[in-house]
Every structure is written in C-alpha cells, then in structure tokens.
Structure 1
Amino acid sequence: MKHLFIFTLLLLQIKVEAQTSALAIADSLYTLGNYSKAINEYSKVGGLSAALQIARSYNAVGNYEKAIIQYQYVVDEDVENQLAQFELGKLLLKVNRFDEAKPVFINLSNLNTTNPEFQFYLGEVNRHLDAADSSLKHYEKAIKLDSTHLRSLFQLAKHYTIKQERDNALKYILQGLDYYENDVSLINLHALVLFNDSQFEKAIPLFERLLELGEDKDYVYEKLGISYRRNWEFKKAKEAYAILLKRDDTNSQTYFDLASVYQKESKLDSAKIYINKAMAVQKPIFANGYNQLAYIAREQKDLEKAFKLFERAHKEDTSNAFIYYNIATTYDQFGTDLKKKLGYYENFLKNYPNQHPYYYETAKKRISELKEEIHFTKD
C-alpha cells in the first residue's frame, strides 16, 4: 500500500512537471510571436489559464471570432475573471459588436466600482451606440475616479469643441494639459477652440507647438495661414501657404487664401494672379474666384466690373445669398435705373428669405427708400 502511494505521488509529480514543461514551451512560443504553435501547445496543457492564452493567441493573429469564443468560454467558467472579461470587451468593441460589449463592461464596472478604465470603455460603447448623454456621464465618472485619465478628458473636450461650447471644452482641455503638457490631441483641441473663437493670436503658438511635436500636417498649416493672416502677420501666412502649395499645387483653396493675404496688403494685382491660379485648378465651379475678383474690382472703384463679376459668381452658385446681395448693393451704387435697383432687392427678399437678419433688414429698408424715390420721381 505504501509503495502504491509513493508510486501515485511520483506519477502526479511527473504529470505536473510535464505540464509545467509544456506550459513553459507554450509561453515561450507566445512571447516570441509564434502564435499558431503556441495554440497547439496550450491545447495540450488544458485549463483556464491555457484557454485564456489561446484566446490571446487567436486575437494576436487576427482570428477574432475564435478569440471571442475562447474568451467567452473562460468567462463562463470563471464569472469573476475581470482580466478575461476586460480583454473580451475590448475585442468586441474593436470588431464593432457594441451591443455585446456593453453588458461586459457593465458587469466589470459592477465587479470593480473604482476602476476608471471600465467607465471609460462604457463611455466608448455608448458613444458608438449614439448614446451621447450616457457616454459623457461615464467619461465624467472615469475622471472622478482618476482626474488624470487623459482619454476621458480628450473625449469630453472633443465633444464640447464640436458643440462649440468653449468654456466646457477648455475646462477639460486645460485639466488634461495640466497633467501632460505635450499631449498632442489636447493641444490640437486647445488650438481649435481658440481658432473657432477668433482668438488667432493665442491660437498661433499652439499650432506652432503642434509642428514642433511632429504634427506636420496640412490642416495645421491651413489653420496657421488663416491665423497669421487674421493677425496681420502676412509674411508668415505666405510661408505657411507656400508649404501647402509645395505639397499640393492643385488645391484651389490655398491659392484663394494666399490671394486674401495679398488683398489685405493692398497688393491687388498679386491677389488677382493667385485668384486666377485658383480658378485654373478649381473643380467644378468658379463662384469663389469670381466673387473675390469682384471684391477687388470694387476696391479699385470699378463698380460696373464688380457688378458683372458678382453676376458671374451667382451663375456658378445660385444658392449663395450673399453673392446676390452684393449684386443688389453694387448696382445700387452705380446704376441709375431705380426700378431695376428695387427689383434686385425684392428678388433678394423673395429668393433668400431666411438668410442673415442684418442683410434682410437692410434690404427691406432700402426697398422702402427706393419706393419713396420712385413715387417722388413720378410726381
């Protein structure tokens, strides 16, 4: 009996050692990225730990369906295994199975109420399910649990930036930057909030900082060009647009923006050159080009030419109320036919009734004045 007991212990020891050896081989294969062979070795070992590693291996090779099945097996066998549930939830989110991911993260947040990551991912799931209010609440909960949770701070800041709620956006942006001043995403949002608020002087150093941090992207130069121009830094604006044109000399908007710089400098001949270049590459309409040329002609006191250019712009884009308003006001300045003047303003009210209230009220006032002039002229 004693010999049998010792023999059994030896068999168990050999089995454990064999499993340990097989597990070590499987772990080594997994660590080195040899996932297919690792799966075979883990299958020999058995058990929940090996099953979790098999799920991770399938995930690593991109076989997400098998990974999900394997993760689900582990979770079903061990309902309190937070790590397996967390990896399963993130994978479901990755493959856009949001409805399935949601209960996983809800369960995790119930198992561990102090983990900000679980709240963040609940926010992500709800965001993808178009439940904006719920997603914001979960991001806020994540921040309450960890005031430095940058991804939650970014999502909240991004939401309020898009909504153009300046104060709320800045609250979360500055909170994040106070923790990590070189966070590119938050610096970008900070710059955009100031840009959208027309605080160009304050936005400029932030866009410049993005370039220093390696965000050498077209949109940064576009926003910088506009900011420099609006801040009367014309040389720097030209430099920004020159970089954009070097990258893409077929972008009509860059030529138009560059023309605006020369126009602000009162270098109208140069402005016309760049407007014509813009129109040469512009597809499919020329409304913007004709409109800008009309403004230049008006600055040069050639009102009749400006009027004709505004008309050409309007033919290209009949939906643009402001172009038609310029037709009316320009003819009003040089034209002599009172009835024709009246007709332009009346057409503006008729065709563009829901446009800018200032232009609408100005047109109504001018109609009243013209009717009075016509009446006295008849008398």
Structure 2
Amino acid sequence: MKLLFILTLLLLQLKAEAQTSVSVVADSLYAIGNYSRAINEYSKLGGVSSALQIARSYNAIGNHEKAIKQYQYVIQENAASQLPQLELGKLLLKLKRFEEAKSVFTDLSILNEGNPEFQYYLGEVYKELNQADESLVHYKSAISLDSTHLRSLFQLSKYYTIKQERDNALKYILKGLDYYENDVSLINLHAIVLFNDFQFEKAIPLLERLLEFGEDKDYVYEKLGVSYNQNWEFEKAKEVYKVLLERNDSNSQTYFDLASVYQKESKLDSAKIFINKAMDAQKPIFAQGYNELAGIAHQQKDLKTALKFYQMAHQEDKSNARIYYNIVTVSDQLGSDLGKKLEYYQNFLKQYPNEHPFYYETARKRISELKVEIHFSKE
C-alpha cells in the first residue's frame, strides 16, 4: 500500500514536470512570436489559462474568429475574470463589432465600477456608434475616477475643439497639460483652440514647441505663418512660407499667404507677383486671385480696376457673398445712378439672404438711405 502511494506521487510529479516543461516551451514560443507552434503546445496543456494564451495567439496571427471563441470559452469558465473580457472587448472594438463590444464593456463596468479604463472604452464604443452625448458621459466618468486619465482628457479636448467650444476645450486641454506638459497631442489642440480664437500671439510659442518636438508637418507651418503675419512678425512669416514652398511649390494658398505679408508691408508690387504665382498654381480656379488683386487695386484707390477684378472673381465663384458685396459697395462708390445702386443692394439681399450679419445689416441700412435719397431727388 505504501509502495502504491509512493508510485502515485512519483507519477503525479512526473506529470507535473512534463506539464511544466510543455508550459515553458509554449510560453517561450509565444514570447518570440511563434504563435502557431505556441497554440499547439498550449493545446496539450488544456485548462483556462492555456485557453487564454491560445486566444491571444490567435489574435496575434489575425485569426480573430477563433480568438473570439477562445475568449468566450475562458469567460464562460470564469465569468468574474476581467482581463479576458477586457481583451475581448478591445478586439471587438477593433473589428468594428460595436454592439458586442458595448455589451462586454458594460458588463465590465458593472463588475468593477471603479475602473476608469472600462469607462474610457465605453466612451470609445459610443463614439463609434455616433452617440456623442453618451461617449462624453463615459469619458467624464473615467476622469472622475482618475483625473490623470490622458486618453479620456484627449478625447474630450478633441471633441470640444472640433465643436469650437473654446471654454470646454481649454478646460480639458489645460487639465491634461497640468499632468503631461509635453504631450504633443494636447499642445497641438491648445494651439488650434488659440489660433481659431484669433489669439495668434499666444498660439505662436505652442506652434514653435510642436516643431521642436518633431511635429514637422505642413499644417503646423501654415498656422505658424498666419500667426506670425497677424502678429506683424513679417520676416518670420516669410521664413515659414519659404519652408512650405520648398516642400511644395504648387500650393496656391502659400503664395496667397505670402502675398498677404507683402501687402501688409505695403510692398504691393511683390504682393502682385505672389498673387499671380498663386493663380498660376491654382489653375483653373482664379476667384481668390482676382479677389486679392481687387483688394490691392482698392488699396491703391484705383476703384475701376478693383471693380473689374471683383467682377472677374464673382464669375469664377458666384457662391461667395463677400465678393459680390465688394462689387456692390465699389459700384456704390463709383456710380451716380441712385436706382442702380439700390438695385445692387437689393440683389445682394435677394441672392445672399443668410450671410454674415454685418453684410446683411449694412446692406439694409444703405437701402434705407438710398430710398430716402431717391425720394428727395424726385422732389
């Protein structure tokens, strides 16, 4: 009897050692990315932990359906285990199976109410389902559980930046930068918010930092060029536009922006040169070029030439209310026929009834004045 007991112990020890050996081999294969062979070794072991590793291996080689089945088996065997549910939820989110992912992350958030990651991923699911209000609730929940949760802070910052809700955007951007002062994504959003709010002087150091951090992208240079220009730092603006033109000399907007710099410096001949270059690059769309040339003519008090260019610009882009408004006001300055002037303003309101309040109110006011002038001229 004693001998039998000893033999049983020896057999159990040998089996355990064999399993340990297989487990070591399987783990080694998994670690070096030999997933197919790792799956074979894990299959010899059986059990929930091996099934989880098999799920991960299938996921790694892109056999997602088998991975999902293995994750589901593991969860079925141990419903309280959160890690396989988290991995399954991420996989379903990646595969755009959003309703299934929502179910998984909802279960996880019930299992562990204090985990900000689960709230964040619910936010991601609702974002993909185009349910913005719900996604915001969960991102905010993640932050309430962990005020340093960077991905939730970024998503909220990004949402409010896109919506141009300046105060809300800055609230989350600045909160994130308090914890992660060198986070490039948040610095980028901060720069965009200030730029969109016309705070060019404050946007400049942020845009410069982005370049220092290696964000060597055209849109950063474009915003920096505009900011320098608006801040009357003309030489710096020219340097930025020079970089952009070295990268792409067929971008008409860069030429237009450079022309704007020269225009502010009252170097109108140089401005004309770059406007013409912009128009060459912009073929066959000339509306902006004609509009810019009209502006220079206006600045030179050559109203007839300005009107000619505005009319040419309008022929190219009849949807642009500002161009037509300029035609109306210049015609008003040049003309003597009160009836024609009145007709121009009335046509403006008829063709562009929902444009900028300034144009609308100015046109209405001028119509009233012209009607009075016409009345008294008849008397």
TM-score, reference length from structure 1: 0.97
Cα distance in 2 for residues equivalent to 1:281 and 1:312: 18
1:231-250 paired onto structure 2 within 5 Å: 231-250=231-250
Contiguous gaps of at least 5 residues in structure 2: none
Alignment-derived partner of residue 72 in structure 1: 72
User: What corresponds to 1:281 in structure 2?
Assistant: 281
- 1:309, 1:216 → 2: CA distance? 37
Deviation digits for residues 270-320 of structure 1 (CA, Å, limit 9, x no counterpart): 111111111111144211111111000111111111101100111111111
Match of 2:134 in 1: 134
Q: Who is 1:155 aligned against?
A: 155
How far apart are residue 367 of structure 1 and its match? 2.2
Q: Which moved more, 1:216-225 or 1:367-376?
A: 367-376
Can you list the C-alpha shifts for 1:191-210, whole angstroms capped at 9, x where unaligned? 11111111111110001011
* Aligned AA (2:64): Y
For residue 147 of structure 1, give the secondary structure of its aligned residue in structure 2.
coil
Q: 1 CA distance for matches of 2:216 and 2:64?
A: 35
Give the stretch that moved more between structures: 144-153 or 355-364.
Answer: 355-364
Letter aligned with residue 32 of structure 1? I
Whole-angstrom CA distance in 2 between matches of 1:171 and 1:378: 61
Provide the rounded CA distance (Å) in 1 between the counterparts of 2:63 and 2:252.
Answer: 45
Partner of 1:105: 105
Read off the aligned partner of 2:83 and give its amino acid letter.
L
Question: 1:176 aligned to 2:176?
Answer: yes
Gaps of 5+ in 1: none
Which residue number corresponds to residue 301 of structure 1?
Answer: 301
CA offset at residue 374 of structure 1? 3.5
Q: Deviations over 1:70-119 (max 9, x none)?
A: 11111111111111001111111111111100111111111112211111
Structure 2 distance, partners of 1:316, 1:261, is: 25
Q: Aligned residue for 1:230?
A: 230
Aligned AA (1:144): S
Deviation at 1:371, TM superposition (A): 3.2
Cα distance, 1:361 vs. partner? 2.1
Correspondence 1:84-99 to 2 at 5 A: 84-99=84-99
Q: Which amino acid aligns with 1:178?
A: D
- Which residue is equivalent to 1:357? 357
Match of 1:260 in 2: 260
Deviation at 1:364, TM superposition (A): 2.1
Tell me if 1:58 matches 2:58: yes
Cα shift readout 1:102-161 (whole Å, capped 9, x = no counterpart): 111111111112211111111111111112111111111111111111111111111111
2:372 aligns with 372
CA distance in 2, matches of 1:43, 1:239: 63
Change in Cα spacing, 1:35 to 1:301, as seen in structure 2 (3 Å) is same
Q: How many residues align?
A: 379
Q: State the distance in 1 between where 2:167 and 2:55 align.
A: 45
- How far apart, in 1, do the equivalents of 2:208 and 2:4 lie? 80
Distance 1:93 1:130 in 2: 14
Identity level (%): 75
**1:328 aligned to 2:328?**
yes
Aligned counterparts of 1:305 and 1:264: Cα–Cα separation in 2: 20
Deviation at 1:376, TM superposition (A): 4.0
Q: Hey, what's the Cα distance between the residues in 1 that align with 2:303 and 2:51?
A: 80
Amino acid at match of 1:14: L
Moved more, 293-302 or 358-367: 358-367
- Equivalent residue, structure 1, for 2:47: 47
Which string of whole-angstrom CA distances, capped at 9 and with x for unpartnered residues, describes residues 328-366 of structure 1?
111111223333222211210111111122212222222
Which residue is 1:117 aligned to?
117
Give the letter for the 1:234 counterpart.
Answer: F
